[in-house]
Structure 1
């Protein structure tokens, strides 16, 4: 039981990274628009985040250093500051969308307009961060988010032709009527949704909060290699449900209500209710992650004392950043901006910032001065280098493709 509870950091991180409001809609949109033609990219992103999350967690356990602390040291103050600005912008955009996502889930349950729920959701997120223990927060929202497994059940209840599904997955092609640039744009969005920088910020900082040591490396690996694949499975099931139900009907996805539609068709009101609970838990967990990550990145760069477990009087600047981030993001959503579009744009900007986040992790994880006998082996270095090349290519292509396709239109 203790080992099972230890994995909840990875589960919370994975669900917050793979299944936040933007990824809920993006996975469903891709399934409805491209069928199973982009499953391969989701798999590529999943392997990448597992590789780098394990490195970041191992560095946190062995060297006692969180990710953004390494970013400043390895990139220098100026480039580190530029990375801080880019990463913080992406994290704040994502936080704004997550707060709206929680409010949208409550709207579907209550029929009260989501904008009226945004202030209450923001206050509740802050109260959880302020009053709930880190371990309790992980376990409640990480495990509750697993209710999204209802999408897996819905896929089976939709009774697909598994031979046809396998053929589409293994023989991906640009669907008729879609352009190659649009196809590549959504491929990059899926990859970035899997490897969003705040995931490793939260994962490594959470390891420091939980006081991981070299003896906890087994826990690090269980979190990385079980928690993140669980998140990937949930994202895949959302995509598959949309591909089976919405793609043949030519239905496009631009709202949360359309994302959960397959669970209603396959499982009725009970399935729909479970899906909404899972959406609430996933987006609320992502709100906690992104709010804390805002504080983590700023405090670690400037060398302030930080940590959810640190009392406000001893880490006042860290807690102030978290509060300001929540208030600013709440105000942004209250302007009426489309939360789904906000997150889709944040994924593109995240893709641009990926190399500056992952390069320092790879360098330090391979440094025997920091890691001793726990430095990267040949397999970890090979995979890390391959994925660094991939993120470099994607970071260069992301903005041109967004402009060329008018954000996937």
Structure 2
């Protein structure tokens, strides 16, 4: 694709990156076949190829309209198109640039600005957890649409206290400790069962994804730097203790962001090298499965899965796992090795509609995609539970089904806890 960047973008870091990405696109249209919003809306401008044209026009100096902004807003950032693209177009990074330009050029109506501010500031605030507890207490009396957004209160269970020589950092996240605290505790327990200690750095917070995708990119970069500062004493200890072996992340939406720190901070002289180190250490918990499985199998022994553990599972691989991080097949294979019966639904490559705050900002599209996803999940054998690997997907799917929706780590933890020796 030939480009002629407007003078204001020519020679800038964003302009140079966008130009390189645009030139890889060959207009083939393979991306439209796997784009969820194009499949639902049938509009070329609501598919990757159409959005690429819109971004190209913006960067070449064409007027940016409210319609342009809305087409970019409706993208889920699922990056399925990147998996499909034969030319290797880095659509996600191009979309970040396009959204930033549109945000600067097109004033949003005040209700949109207010909602985005509330999501940006509220979900990352220390007040989110107490506010959620109030909502959970009031949950039985809330209107159905609001009640669906408030998960039932969950008991996390005990955090393991055994110290191990093999240590990893665990990103707690911003909303997950309040919405689903058992995911982090279960992750710590399954790591402990394999002789690995999970450490949470108290000053580490939101990974930055939430602000970044709400176009507060400066705020997101500040959160990334704060996390690097919180983790660095464990990565380069000065007290003689051994460095951590990895930064483990159990929310794939956070994982794909932390792995991108090196890209996002590449022009920051104070943080570029540290960000590269952090991205290299970042691991989705599923990437540790080759190290974890032998210990888990030994714990379970030859008896197989204990009674009461859901055996038949339908697995929803989040987009951030399979398209963002290109991690496919590992979770399903590991669960089957442990004795679970795991089914992938039809259209397993398509987004469930959660996409971070997308389900709040684009509720109609999100609900349509969720209904489509759940129809396939329910038809994947006779599942006793749905499992996934991202808090956003889990919460979004649970709001539309009576089947329990859990992180896959939780069902492994349940099996291991049932076979644990008495304390």
Measured against the shorter chain, the TM-score band is under 0.3
Task: State which structure, 1 or 2, has the greater radius of gyration over its C-alpha atoms.
Answer: 2
- What's the TM-score once normalised by structure 1's chain length? 0.27
By percentage of residues, which structure has more strand?
Answer: 2
Structure number with the bigger relative contact order (C-alpha 8 A, sep ≥ 6) is 1
By percentage of residues, which structure has more helix?
Answer: 1
